[in-house]
Amino acid sequence: MALDLNMPILVVDDYKTMIRIIKNLLKQLGFEDVDEASDGTEALAKLKDREYGLIISDWNMEPMTGYELLQRVRAEGPRTDVPFIMVTAEAKSENVIAAKKAGVSNYIVKPFNAQTLKGKIEAVFESIGA
């Protein structure tokens, strides 16, 4: 399945600098339509207004963590099957297992570059296409 560079992507992080970094990496990869949310609550509101092709969310956020956001998205929708990549600073195995159980599509550890991000996104969409 070819990656749709026109699909809207939602980047969720409470750290503005990280949002800017991820948006720049996505732009380098050719993704132009990127929205941002500063926390899980804002992300859920945006998900009601728009159908995203991909969510990239930080794990450590206040007041709603990326993990809680993932659980809400998978449980409530509006699209429970939207691809969801979790970004984290530490890849604790219990976190990875919890995120997998909650339905995360892929996992990315900071710091990362455009190639790493591209590989993760491609892996997610290859698994959907399979």
**Per residue of the chain (130 residues), what is the pLDDT tens digit?**
568 999 999 999 999 999 999 999 999 999 999 999 999 999 999 999 999 999 999 999 988 999 999 999 999 978 899 999 999 988 788 888 999 999 999 999 999 999 999 999 999 999 887 5
CATH superfamily of domain region 9-129: Response regulator (3.40.50.2300)
C-alpha dihedral (113, 7, 52, 46), degrees to nearest 10? 90
pLDDT of residue 96: 87
As a whole number of angstroms, the distance between CA 113 and CA 22 comes to 9
* pTM of this structure: 0.95
Domain spans of the chain, in order of start? 9-129
